[in-house]
Structure 1
Amino acid sequence: MRVVLAEDSVLLRAGLGKLLAAGGFEVVAAVGDGPALLAAVAAHRPQLAVIDVRMPPTHTDEGIQAALVIRRLHPEVAVLVLSQYVEERYATDLLGSSTSAVGYLLKDRVAHVDEFLDTLRRVAAGGTALDPEVVAQLLVRRRDDWRDRLTPREAEVLRLMAEGRSNAGIVEALRVSHSAVEKYVSNIFAKLDLPPTDTDHRRVLAVLKFRDG
């Protein structure tokens, strides 16, 4: 799998590059700023771009802005953004136009190598991954409505859904039956007024709609 990596820290960029290579990814370019990232994506047309949120010159949102440009100009390229801290606004911006082939993780997750590499593969395959800390903030913001609208078990399933877990993954995490998980997921969609659709990723839309009330 061809990957473009954007990280301004030389040491972290080198470390991520080695980790990805060891995991079977082909790092076709490793850059340190937004313009170089956009040029690399245009030149190499990778399957996945792994991007730091904060890059030169201001070290604020250059990475997220570059990610938004990539999603607009190169929708075939999956995007995984890495952030040092939970920045809910950036996660919402990233998911604003489409909720497929996109991820937002804290850099701490990189330490869990196998899980991190699995997340990269899932996002590159068209899936979605939100960091558990981001999910927690989205839910706590509307805590009262959350308790009114969802049962504790449904809320737990919603957290796992937004982290990118499949139904099978939720079955494994909660040690319940497949039919029980299907029922929980169906109830969540109904309670959050999300009708069936062929185009939208309802699992992440559920979290975003819940947050917006």
Structure 2
Amino acid sequence: MHSDSDTPAGLRVALSTDSELVTHGLAAMLSPYADRIHLVTSGSPADVTLIDPTVVDLEEALTRHERGRLAFYVWDVSAALVTLAKEHGIGGCLTKHLAADRLVLAIERIHAGHVVVELSPRQESVTASPLAQSPLTPREASVIRLITNGLSNEDIAFYLNLSINSVKSYIRSTYRKIDAGSRAQAVVWGVRNGYLSEPEETGLSTAS
């Protein structure tokens, strides 16, 4: 891990306090990509800081964070974690199962301002459902996009100019088509199928 005085050019990435296994493993994974990305000491200025909210206190980490973007770095990415990330303006949720090349690309995209969600292989096998095969109507697709981005039924009704009963009807039909038994399952499906949007792409920042 580089010190602040000898950091080379490229994105600076800090790993907030984590296990020795993860810390040294991440350093080894990123070493072949030193021209694009490198680790700096935890707490040092960084372009992207990886934090595991199951290991560190999230509120404390947010309070101490001064610059760059934050991303969750956890073993399993849950729908609740995606929602939590969105609520706090965190740039992504990345599984610790990610291969080095995908991790580097994800970090670069987060630094560029994108929202990135990467699930573990186990989760992908459960939730993967190609968008091209989706039977959703355009209205149902709009509803699942807004659900994935954390809007309540009332917000969806306002955003789409629908009655609350119409929203509930679209939600029921959408859940049947994507085989979701809960809102959390619908969020995970939406994330895996490209419905997690940037606020500037959908205007969601002004609708909630």
Question: TM bucket by the smaller chain?
Answer: 0.5 to 0.7
Cα distance in 2, alignment partners of residues 88 and 129 from structure 1: 13
- How big is each residue's C-alpha offset from its partner over 1:128-185, in whole Å with a ceiling of 9 and x where there is no partner? 1023559x5x76xx99617449x98xx8898225398xxxxxxxxxxxxxxxxxxxxx
- Answering whether residue 116 of structure 2 is matched by residue 98 of structure 1, we say no
Amino acid at match of 2:77: V
Q: Paired residue for 1:28?
A: 40
Distance 1:82 1:65 in 2: 16
Aligned length: 143
The answer to whether the aligner puts 1:3 opposite 2:13 as a matched pair is yes
Q: Give the distance between the partners of 2:23 and 2:95, measured in 1 at CA.
A: 15
If you compute each CA radius of gyration, which structure gives the higher value, 1 or 2? 2
Question: What CA distance in whole angstroms lies between the structure 1 residues aligned with 2:118 and 2:15?
Answer: 19
Query: SS at 1:162's partner residue?
Result: coil
Which runs of structure 2 are paired with 1:101-112 in the superposition (5 Å)?
Answer: 102-108=91-97, 110=98, 112=99
2:25 pairs with 1:46: no
Q: 2:26 — aligned with what? A: 16
Cα offset for 1:7? 4.4
Letter of the aligned partner of 1:64 in structure 2? L
Change (3 A) 1:203 1:103: farther
Higher helix residue share: 1
CA contact (8 A) 1:4 1:50 kept: yes
Instruction: For residue 18 of structure 1, report the CA deviation from its aligned partner.
Output: 2.1
Counterpart check, 1:80 vs 2:71: yes
AA in 2 matched with 1:98 = G
For 1:36-84, what per-residue CA distance to the aligned partner results, in whole angstroms no more than 9, with x for missing partners? xxxx1xxx321110112222xxxxxx353345335xx52x411121122
What is the one-letter code of the residue matched to 2:41? A
In structure 1, list runs of 5 or more residues that go unmatched: 31-39, 56-61, 165-199
Q: 1:115 aligns with which of 98, 102, 112?
A: 102
Tell me the amino acid that sits aligned with residue 14 of structure 1: H
Q: Does 1:145 align with 2:171?
A: yes
Give the 3-state SS of the residue equivalent to 1:20 in structure 2: helix
Aligned-residue sequence identity (percent) comes to 18
Task: Report if aligned partners of 1:106, 1:131 keep a CA contact under 8 Å in 2.
Answer: yes
Q: Mind listing any 5+ residue stretches in structure 2 that lack a counterpart? A: 1-10, 128-146, 149-167, 179-188
- For the 8 Å contact 1:104–1:131, the answer to whether it is kept is yes
1:68 and 1:82 mapped to 2: Cα distance? 15
Q: Is the contact made by 2:48 and 2:70 (CA closer than 8 Å) also made in structure 1? A: yes
Among 63, 69, 89, the alignment partner of 2:63 is 69
1:162 is the counterpart of 2:201: no
Q: What residue is the counterpart of 1:130 in the other structure?
A: 117
